[in-house]
Amino acid sequence: MPGSSGNRINNFLSVGRKKKLIRFAENMTFDNLFQPRYEEIVEGFEMKGRWHRDFFNNKNDIILELACGKGEYAVGLARKYPDKNFIGVDVKGARLWRGLKTTHEEGLKNVAFIRARINLIEYFFGKNEISEIWITFPDPHPREFKARKRLTSPHFLNSYARFLKPGGIIRLKTDNILFFEYTQDVIRDFRHELLSADYDIYGSGIHNDATEIKTFYEQKWLEYGTKIKYLEFRLGRR
C-alpha cells in the first residue's frame, strides 16, 4: 500500500518517543539521580564538596565515569568495589535510565548519576573530592575545529584538575585511534605522566578492570574486529 513504509517509520519513531518519555518520568523517582537546572549549577550546586557527607555517608574514594551512557562502568565497578563510591555523568537521560534502574534493582548504594553536560563538570565537585576518572568511549569530535570539546583536551584536563586528587589516575577507553593518539600528544605536550598505553587492550593479555567490563556498544565493535585502545595517566603538577 502507498505510504505504508512511511507509516511504519512514523510508528517506530512514535514508540521510541513514548519509551523515552516513560524513562524520563521514571528517572524522576530515583533518589540517586541529580539533574539540576543550569542556574542551580552555576550559582552553587548543593552537593559540591559534600558528596561524602550528604550522599554516600562515608569517606570512601569517589570514582567518576564521564560520558557514561548506560553507566556500565559505574555500575560494574560498584559491584566489584563496594568499598568505593561511583558517579556517572551523561547528558542523555534515556541512557542513564538503564544504570539507574540497575542500581535500584540490585540495591547498590554506592552509585549516583548526574545528568548534565560535561563542560559544566567543575561545578559539581570540590577540591580533591574525586580520586579517579574513567572516560569511556566519549565522542571523539574528529574535526579539528572541535578539538576543544574532546574530553582529554587541555581545556577539560584543566577542569578536572580543580577537583581530582593529586596523583589521581585518569583512564581512557576508546575505539577511535585518532582520539587515542591525540590524547597521547596532549599528555606529552603538557607534561602529564603517561602510565600505560595499549592499542589493543584485549589482545595484550592484560586482565584488569579495563577488560573485565564491556559496554554494550564496545561488545558490538569487538564483534566487528575493532581494536579497543586504553591508556592511563596522571595530571602534571599544578
Rounded to the nearest angstrom, the gap between the alpha carbon of residue 90 and the centroid of all alpha carbons in its chain is 6
- Sequence-ordered list of residues with C-beta below 8 angstroms from that of 51, at least 6 positions apart, any chain: 62, 85, 87, 112, 125, 129
Catalytic residue status for 200: no
Cell of 180: 587515542
Burial of 187 from C-beta contacts in 10 A (0-12 / 13-18 / 19+): buried
For 118, what's the count of Cα atoms within 13 Å in the CB-facing half-sphere? 27
**Active-site residue (options: 31, 54, 139, 189):** 139
Distance between CA 96 and CA 22 in Å, rounded? 13
Q: What are the distances in angstroms from CA 171 to CA 8, 62, 66, 196, 209?
A: 43, 14, 10, 10, 10
Catalytic residues, by residue number, are: 139
